[in-house]
Amino acid sequence: MTFWNDPIRFAADWLRDLLTGWGLAAQMTDILLALLGALLLITFSLVLAIFLVWVERKVVARFQDRLGPNRLGPFGLVQPFADIIKLIIKEDITPAGADKFLYNLAPVLALASVLLLWAILPLASVIYGVDLNVALLYLVAAGALGTLAIIMGGWASNNKYALLGAFRMVATMISYEIPMVVSLLIPAILAGTMSVRGITEAQGNVWFFFLSPLAAVIFLISAVAELGRAPFDLNEAESEIIAGFHIEYSGMKFGLFYAGELLHAFTFGGFAALLFFGGYGGFFGLQNLPAFAWLNNPFVQAPVFMLKALIGYWVIMWIKYTMPRVRIDHMLAFNWKFLTPLALILLMTTAVLDRVLDGSNWYVPGLFLSNLLIAWATVEILRAHGRRQRKAEAARVGTGCAQAGAPTAQQ
C-alpha cells in the first residue's frame, strides 16, 4: 500500500502512528480520526457548494442566452465569494411572530440533511466515509430529515406563503419518495446488496443503466421532485407564493437553504452516477485488463466520478431551465397514476427476469428489451388515453377541432 493507490488509509495510518506515539489511547485515536475524516468530507462538500453557485449561475445564463457572472476574476469565478460576503453582512430579519428556535434550526437541518448524504458517497473505491450495508435506506432517511427541515421552516416563519410552500413541498416529497424507493430497489436487486460501493463494484462490466434504463429515468424524475426544482418547484413558485417556505429567511440563513439545494442537486447527480452509470469505476470491463489497470487508481476514479456527477447535475439543471411549473393536481396525478404504477410494474418484471435469466447470455439484452417493451407499452397507453380525451372533448365542444377546456383554478 502506497500513497498513490490508497491515499486516505495511508494518511490515516500515518496519523494513527503519530497520535498513538504521543501516548493517546487507541480508541480515542479512532474517534479523532473519524472526526477528522468527517470534517474533511464536509469541508470538501461545502467548498464544492461554493463552486456550484458559480456553475449554476453560469449554466442558467447560458440556457437563457446571457453571459452570467464574468466580471470578478477569470470567468467570474470569484463571484460566489462576493455572494457569500454579501449574505453574511446582510441584516438577518426574524419576523415578529416566528417561532425563534425552530426558525433558526430549519436552515441548519436543511443543509445538514444534505451533508449527511456525503457520509455514504464513495468518491473512489478507497475514498469514502462509511460503507453502510443499508445505504439506500439511509439515502431515504436523510431525505426524510430534509422534509422535516422544510416543514419546520415553513411553519416557524408564521407566514401564509411559507406554510403553503412547505405543505406543497412536503406533499411532493412524500409522493415522489415511493417511485424513488422503488427505483432504488432495482439496483439493489441487480447487485444483491444495498451498499453503494457494492452496487458500484457490481457495475464493472455493464452499467445498470443498460439493464434498467427506465429505473434510471424514474430515479431522475423523482430526484428532481425530491429536490423541489422545476418542473416541481411548487414549493417556491416565485410568481404565486413568492419564495415558498423560505420567504421570511434573509441573509446567511437563506444562504444555507440555497447552498443545501445546490449541493443536494449535485449529490443526487452523484447518486445517479453511482447507482446507474458505474460511478467511479465501471469502464465496461476495461479496468480488469492489465494495460488499463491505471483506471483503478483513486486519483483517476475520483475525477471520473466528479465528472459523472457534474453531468447528472447538468441534466437536472437542463430540466429546471427548460420545463414550466406543473400544477399541484397534475403533480400528484403524475406520481400516483403514472410513475408509481410504472415503477412497481418495472420492479416486478426486473425481479422475475433477474431470476429467470440468471447466468444466461440473455441476461443483459433481456432486461434491456423488457424495459424498452414497458416503455413502449406505456407510451401507447398514454397515447390512446390522450386520443380518447381529445375525442370526448371534441364531442363536448361540438366542433371538429378539439379545444382545451378552461383550466380550473386550484390551490
Distances, alpha carbon 401 to alpha carbons 384, 391, 393, 404, in Å: 18, 9, 9, 10
Smallest separation (angstroms) from another protein to the CB of 314: 26
Closest separation between CB of residue 116 and another protein, Å?
Answer: 6
**68 vs 172, beta carbon nearer another protein:** 172
The answer to whether the beta carbons of residues 189 and 355 sit under 8 Å apart is no
What is the nearest approach in angstroms of another protein to the Cβ of residue 4? 25
- The single-letter DSSP state of residue 401 is S
Judged by beta carbon, residue 30 or residue 393, the one nearer another protein is 30
Rank residues 89 and 291 by Cβ distance to another protein and give the closer one: 89
* Nearest to another protein of 18, 134 (CB atom): 134
**Closest distance between another protein and the C-beta of residue 7, in Å?**
18
Task: Kindly give the residue spans of alpha helices, DSSP state H, lying in 192-291.
Answer: 196-201, 208-211, 213-227, 238-241, 251-276
Grouping H, G, I as helix, E, B as strand and the rest as coil, residue 127 is strand
State the nearest-atom distance from the C-beta of 191 to another protein, in Å.
8
**Are 329 and 336 within 8 A, CB to CB?**
no
Q: Which residues pair with 127 in a beta bridge?
A: 124
Instruction: State which residue, 68 or 260, has the beta carbon closest to another protein.
Output: 260
Please, are residues 339 and 157 in contact by the beta-carbon 8 Å criterion?
no
Tell which residue, 162, 154, 151, 157, has the closest CA to residue 99.
157
Q: For residues 33 and 295, which CB has a smaller minimum distance to another protein in the complex? A: 33
Of the two residues 161 and 207, which places its CB atom closer to another protein in the complex? Answer: 161
Min dist CB 331 to another protein, Å, is 9
Q: Residue-wise over 204-243: b if at least 16 C-beta within 10 A, else e? A: bebbbbbbbbbbbbbbbbbbbbbbbbbbbbbbbbeeebeb
Closer by beta carbon to another protein, 29 or else 283: 29
Cβ neighbours of 164 (radius 10 Å)? 20
Cα distances from 15 to residues 29, 32, 123, 131, 162, in angstroms, run 9, 10, 21, 21, 48
Segment 34-37 long-range contacts (CB within 8 Å, at least 24 positions apart): 37/8, 37/12, 37/129
Type of residue numbered 63: F
Minimum CB separation from another protein for residue 363, in Å? 13
Grouping H, G, I as helix, E, B as strand and the rest as coil, residue 3 is coil
CB of 293 to another protein, least distance (A): 27
Answer positive or negative: Cα dihedral of 218, 357, 379, 278. Answer: positive
**Integer Cα distance of 177 and 343 in angstroms:** 12
Nearer to another protein, 78 or 102 (CB): 102
Which lies closer to another protein via its Cβ, residue 65 or residue 358? 358
Are 4 and 297 contacting, i.e. CB atoms less than 8 angstroms apart?
Answer: yes
Helix axes 340-356, 160-191, angle to 10 degrees: 10
Task: Report d(CA 263, CA 46) in Å as an integer.
Answer: 8
Question: Rounded to the nearest whole angstrom, what is the least distance from the CB of residue 97 to another protein in the complex?
Answer: 6
Least CB distance to another protein at residue 43 (A):
8
Q: For residues 124 and 317, which CB has a smaller minimum distance to another protein in the complex?
A: 124
Smallest separation (angstroms) from another protein to the CB of 390: 21
